[in-house]
Structure 1
Amino acid sequence: MTWLTAHLEIVFGGTLALFAVLLLVQQRRSPQSTAAWLLFVFLLPYLALPMFLAFGVRKPYRASHLNFSEPDRIEPPAAAMDIFFRELGMPGARSGNRIEIFEDGATAFAGLNRLITGAEHTIDAEFYIVENDEIGRAFVELLTRRAREGIRVRLMIDRFGGLSRPRQALERLREAGGEVLFSSPFLGLPGRGRLNLRNHRKTLVADGCRVFAGGMNVGRAYMSADAAAPALWTDLSFALEGPAIRSYSDILASDLDAAHRRAAPEAGEIPPSEIRCAAVREGNAVLQPIPSGPDISGDTLHDGLVAAIHRAERRVWIVTPYYLPTDQLAHALNIATLRGLDVRLLVPAKSNQTLADLARGIYIRGLADAGGRVFLTRDRRMIHAKAGIIDDFAWLGSANFDVRSMYLNFEAALFAYDAGTVAHLERWFEDQCALCSEGPPQASLPRRIAEGAFRLAAPVL
């Protein structure tokens, strides 16, 4: 039977390899990435196939559940980017919003608590990480208290990001009547997600009227309960009221319903209280939430940024903890510097991801060689903010400037087109640069060799 066993192994392996190749050639990726995966599959199929199914498949499983609510009135485009995103099926920019940007962990944690304690009917939340520390436990305990008071509480945590979650506190939340859900399971079972696709969004919606979102997870590194004891990292989040919150409600409802494996409600099923809240025009901010990920057709955020950088006339400023751009983004930034634009990149001198730091070196020095200005944090300060400014508009949110956020993860960014919000982020960016040293990191020959090797793994870092 040895020959039969060998024959079946060959047939089975060949079938899997053919399946992987068919998936591979249909997906949007660079020719270099496609060629590398094909070579890997043919040379080491029994190693490459499991790795490809775990890490190499893009957007394989979740058709969009999003049904963006129609605005109460169609507004004129806020900018060329507004038009671009509308053409991709995204919600349009909305005026009349009020936004409060949190520049440190103490004000962010206080703002998050205000939304939770002020809720009258519902609290829905999703975070990539809720740590098992004093901040994470305090957050879950506050949700538990509100659940005991009769508020409907639903909390979703990413399965991988939630490995260090406060399990006992979450169990008490369940006992109080709250729902605790997990997104993106590890195993690539049909309809259940894949290890490579993580829900990186950070959003809390209270009563469908108020939103907390941005780049902060819930934990001691990101937030602080004491203004005198600041958080370990520098990050950005925000609280939002006004018409733009409808898009965040839609995104979060879709994610929660996907975790339940049920269809999202149609726009007409939105409670009247949420419709009234969204119609209230609280301020002067012109904002446009943009989701991206496996629930969105195409690569909306990535393509929007590539288009915006090519159209830029004055400046492109970017802050990110992990700088591993796609080839298109790296090329667009290099061309922008050669066109004489003010191109600035703000990154930590040393992040919490050593492999990502190795992989980014070639990209950072390439940008500096083209004429871009690179700012590195001093004193081992970790900057975890994800934001940018291009000419007269800005964005902030959950998406890093890397392949994983642009092509793989569930993300959400908020684009701002009003002068007040852009000026706020401009001032913040310049304040951060003043605390940095300018110039790309130095690297020895062995490190440069290591950087070149790890650059190949950028899509999974």
Structure 2
Amino acid sequence: MVEWSIFNEIFAVAFNVLYFVIIIGTIFIVILDNRNPVKTMAWVLVLFFLPLVGLVFYFFFGRSTRKEKLISKKGFTRLIKRPMAEYQAQKAFKCPDEQHQLMRFFRKVNNALPFEGNAVEVFTDGYSMLYSLMKEISKAKHHIHLQFYIFEDDPVGRLLRDLLIDKARQGVEVRLLYDDVGCWKVPHAFFDEMRGAGIEARSFLKVRFPLFTSKVNYRNHRKIVVIDGRVAYTGGMNIALRYMKGFPWGIWRDTHIKIEGKAVYGLQTAFLTDWYVVDRTLITSSRYFPEVGTFGKALIQIVTSDPVGAWRDIMQGLLIAISSSRKYFYIQTPYLLPTEPILMALKTAALAGVDVRIMIPARADTWITHLGSLSYLDDIMRAGVRIYLYQKGFLHSKLMVSDDTLSTVGSTNMDFRSFEHNFEVNAFMYDPASALMLKGIFLQDQKDAILLLRKTWMKRPWYQKAQESIVRLLAPLL
């Protein structure tokens, strides 16, 4: 009995030593990764105070993939051969002087080609966007490429699915990319029915037990539709009934755009790059990049960002945009969990006299991220940033506009997850007409929002402040 007791003690000591070594070793790895100090400290705190939970979360959500590559340089060069030829054939286009630096940055770092002569149509509700999308899909002759974070098996999802099946049976090539985590709750039969009709449907970065890995943290949040290489859609809307009907407590307010013109090449390139990642098929035929004429006057760059490159392309571009603003910079975002550089840029612009306005929902779909968003409000209001709380429902719009010259719509939220972990896409428009249109939308939404006064905000209960502060510690991990 005594020998068995000694054995248990030795085992317990060995286990504790091993456990301690693993925890300390993981913390050491986090520190050596040389990440943002705020994010590093967040992981260290979680690992130190909640070691077992921290280890599990770090394995699934914490490991960096910045040194990996999605596609080889040679493969990407083949993919953009036709868009590059069209880009080089353009006459010297006119870009607002204050935006040249931003455009050059995206061109150099992101290989984002700016194209002139585009027409832009903006949708601010799910019904009008879905109607337009289905109308264009019904006219498709050659191919339909769709990519969504969420594609639900509900009345809206089934309506679009049935239309896609009809087009596939007509001989149109249909490819669908959906995020594996975003569609976890969708029955396999929903997508299998599409596959049975000839639609190529693939999930992005599939996550399954026992292969459950850190891939769960890197999600494809992009929303892209390209039809016959001539018309495309992007923005914040997914395919689900709630994007049409909203919640019992309010509407779903979102922003999506339709593009006609050569900027469609950029969305096509983004889709085909992601398709290569999941299917290992490099589609480069000129049939997917047909000759496109002039439809409007908008100068557009399609910019992507992902967690596997050396740079945080969209976040760094926004730093340039905010720092370059002179009169105003308006932002709509459902979540406000900015990285330290973005936070400092917003405060610096406001202190320099720029009219910085940020609109977030008064009530969000995720309690914990909303609490995190609220924790930043006092700090930025103190610098002069004006905060508007949208009252009519849930504001899911990702819209930014500045100085009547620059605007952007896409899938990127103002948070750590979008900037560092997600695959995102935005259309950057260097066009006064587009900027004025989106500025008008922001100001119209402002009528359905309340301006938050700092002196009023300071009077909120102490326990709410405490909750916000605690959640803010975890902001880099949300």
Q: Which residue of 383, 387, 399 maps to 1:387?
A: 399
Whole-Å separation in 2 of the counterparts to 1:446 and 1:163: 35
Whole-Å separation in 2 of the counterparts to 1:206 and 1:198: 24
8 Å CA contact 2:118–2:262 kept in 1: the answer is yes
Whole-Å separation in 2 of the counterparts to 1:296 and 1:141: 37
User: 1:459 aligned to 2:476?
Assistant: yes
8 Å CA contact 1:210–1:239 kept in 2: the answer is yes
Query: What per-residue deviation string (whole Å, max 9, x for no partner) do you get for residues 151-203 of structure 1?
Result: 22111211111123364442221111112211133359999761111110011
Q: Residue type of the partner of 2:258?
A: A
Whole-Å separation in 1 of the counterparts to 2:69 and 2:34: 15
User: 1:119 aligned to 2:140?
Assistant: yes
User: 1:325 aligned to 2:335?
Assistant: no
Give the 5 Å matches for 1:91-102.
Answer: 91-102=112-123
User: Quick one: structure 1 residues 43 and 363, their matched pair in 2 at CA, closer, same or farther if it must change by over 3 Å?
Assistant: closer
- Please report the RMSD computed on the Cα atoms of aligned residues, expressed in angstroms: 2.6
- Tell me the equivalent position of 2:4: none
8 Å CA contact 1:188–1:195 kept in 2: the answer is no
- Tell me the equivalent position of 1:149: 170
Whole-Å separation in 2 of the counterparts to 1:147 and 1:133: 21
Whole-Å separation in 1 of the counterparts to 2:277 and 2:174: 17
Once the 2 structures are TM-superposed, how far is the Cα of residue 57 of structure 1 from its aligned partner?
A: 2.3
Q: Which residue of 88, 94, 103 maps to 2:124?
A: 103
8 Å CA contact 1:96–1:242 kept in 2: the answer is yes
Q: Which residue of 120, 125, 129 maps to 2:150?
A: 129
User: 1:272 aligned to 2:286?
Assistant: yes
User: 1:413 aligned to 2:444?
Assistant: no
- Tell me the equivalent position of 2:359: 346
- Tell me the equivalent position of 1:228: none
8 Å CA contact 2:371–2:467 kept in 1: the answer is yes
Once the 2 structures are TM-superposed, how far is the Cα of residue 207 of structure 1 from its aligned partner?
A: 1.8
- Give the % identical residues: 28
Once the 2 structures are TM-superposed, how far is the Cα of residue 306 of structure 1 from its aligned partner?
A: 1.4
- Per the alignment, in what secondary structure is the counterpart of residue 321 of structure 1? coil
User: Quick one: structure 1 residues 418 and 432, their matched pair in 2 at CA, closer, same or farther if it must change by over 3 Å?
Assistant: same
Give the 5 Å matches for 1:234-273.
Answer: 234-260=253-279, 262=280, 264-265=282-283, 270-273=284-287
Q: Which residue of 60, 69, 80 maps to 1:63?
A: 69
Whole-Å separation in 2 of the counterparts to 1:378 and 1:252: 35
Select the structure of larger CA radius of gyration: 2
Once the 2 structures are TM-superposed, how far is the Cα of residue 373 of structure 1 from its aligned partner?
A: 1.3
8 Å CA contact 1:131–1:166 kept in 2: the answer is no
Q: Which residue of 111, 127, 136 maps to 1:90?
A: 111
* TM-score when normalising by structure 2: 0.86
Give the 5 Å matches for 1:301-450.
Answer: 301-379=314-392, 381-391=393-403, 392-439=405-452, 442=457, 443-450=460-467
Once the 2 structures are TM-superposed, how far is the Cα of residue 428 of structure 1 from its aligned partner?
A: 0.7
Give the 5 Å matches for 1:158-197.
Answer: 158-165=179-186, 167-186=188-207, 194-197=215-218
Structure 1, unaligned runs of 5 or more: 225-230
User: 1:18 aligned to 2:18?
Assistant: no
Structure 2, unaligned runs of 5 or more: 1-6
- Tell me the equivalent position of 1:227: none
Once the 2 structures are TM-superposed, how far is the Cα of residue 38 of structure 1 from its aligned partner?
A: 3.0
User: Quick one: structure 1 residues 121 and 192, their matched pair in 2 at CA, closer, same or farther if it must change by over 3 Å?
Assistant: farther
User: Quick one: structure 1 residues 116 and 294, their matched pair in 2 at CA, closer, same or farther if it must change by over 3 Å?
Assistant: same
Q: Number of residue pairs matched? A: 447
8 Å CA contact 1:188–1:194 kept in 2: the answer is no
Once the 2 structures are TM-superposed, how far is the Cα of residue 452 of structure 1 from its aligned partner?
A: 0.1
- Per the alignment, in what secondary structure is the counterpart of residue 414 of structure 2? coil
Give the 5 Å matches for 1:266-305.
Answer: 270-277=284-291, 279-305=292-318
Once the 2 structures are TM-superposed, how far is the Cα of residue 344 of structure 1 from its aligned partner?
A: 0.5
Query: What per-residue deviation string (whole Å, max 9, x for no partner) do you get for residues 71-122 of structure 1?
Result: 4244557332101212313313210112211122111001110221111111
Q: Residue type of the partner of 2:29?
A: L
- Per the alignment, in what secondary structure is the counterpart of residue 138 of structure 2? helix
